Amino acid sequence: MTNRSLTSAQSSVSSYLWQFIKQQPIIQARVHSIFSNGFNLKVRDRLWFVGKGEDNLSAIGLALGAADFERITSGLFVGAQVKLVPLFSRSDEQLDLTFTCYIRPMPITVTVYSIRVVDLSIPQITLDTLNRSTLLHQLEKAKVREQSGFTSALLEKVYTDFVDGPDPFSVASLQPLIGAGVGLTPSGDDFLQGIILFERIAGGPATVTDLTRQQLQNRSTTDVSLAYYQALFDGYANMQWINLCKAIESEDEQQIAAAIKKNQAYGATSGNDSLMGVLTFLRKARADLKTPKEADFAEFSLSTRSCFAVVPGHVKK
């Protein structure tokens, strides 16, 4: 018999992906890429990320319990065909999902029951709240840059040009970031996505968002990055970012620290690359707050300026 593992481990699906799943009785996919904590499925022109554990719930994906995840990925290879058949019989908030993985020596079928729909839409947080939080302070302490992909000479220049060059935050300085760096989510993309996420959260001008959306018409990057850009443009982010948002809203310093740490652990440098974007956004926001007439980023260049916190009482020199 085809292996049929019926499990009921805690599994979840992003509300973003849920919209697509609901539309199709059968979904045919190919494995696009495989990592230790998840794999990407190519579903027509979209990528879906299937992660291990809810912490790895992506805006574009599902998160499965560890046992289900291991069973499904056992024998999986890039290019393998995967069929997903959803069953929506329980409620609008849950579904059962049958994975048929076409692998050797025989296909395996795993049905994952009671997958919860998790709202991963990006929340709105006021700048005041952001400023009140210790986020900037903690990010500056977190050695984000040292652990990011921007430690390489080439990327450092791209980054410096973007935040501190002769034409910062311009098309010219942003363009080189798209697709810059190694891996399936290049550091430049992660960085921009960090900024885009917080532009969305803050609800203010979407300068980088718009520039990026525009430049993606001209610049190529990986399928995976494109998928995450699209999710952000559509207003959705990964679970870890949503958790960070909740921590910010809670104004609990320890929760924020924990959320940052989890984000930092994401991918090889992806989490830190994105947090670099967040840091850049916050510094600019603070600069805009302090010197609204000189809304440029020059003074926040990490390479030339010292850091200081936004929140009174936490100022450090």
Binding site for another protein (CB under 8 A): 1-2, 24, 26-28, 30, 79-81, 83, 100, 102-107, 109
User: 73 vs 100, which CB is nearer to another protein?
Assistant: 100
User: 2 vs 36, which CB is nearer to another protein?
Assistant: 2
Residue 205: CB atoms within 10 A of its CB come to 11
User: 20 vs 308, which CB is nearer to another protein?
Assistant: 20
User: 44 vs 90, which CB is nearer to another protein?
Assistant: 44
Q: Give the H or E element holding residue 150.
A: none
Strands 61-64 and 46-52: parallel
The distance of closest approach from Cβ of residue 108 to another protein in the complex, given in angstroms and rounded to an integer, is 9
The distance of closest approach from Cβ of residue 216 to another protein in the complex, given in angstroms and rounded to an integer, is 25
CA 206/CA 127 separation, integer angstroms:
14
Placement of tokens 């760096």 in the chain: 181
The distance of closest approach from Cβ of residue 298 to another protein in the complex, given in angstroms and rounded to an integer, is 50
The distance of closest approach from Cβ of residue 20 to another protein in the complex, given in angstroms and rounded to an integer, is 13
User: 6 vs 106, which CB is nearer to another protein?
Assistant: 106
Residues near 157 by Cβ (< 8 Å), separated by ≥ 6? none
User: 104 vs 293, which CB is nearer to another protein?
Assistant: 104
Beta carbons of 75 and 3 less than 8 angstroms apart: no
| Sign of the alpha-carbon torsion through 240, 242, 244, 247 | negative
CA 10/CA 34 separation, integer angstroms:
21
Q: What is the DSSP string of 89-139?
A: EEETTEEEEEEEEE-SSS-EEEEEEEEEEE--BPPP--HHHHHHSSHHHHH
The distance of closest approach from Cβ of residue 203 to another protein in the complex, given in angstroms and rounded to an integer, is 39
The distance of closest approach from Cβ of residue 250 to another protein in the complex, given in angstroms and rounded to an integer, is 44
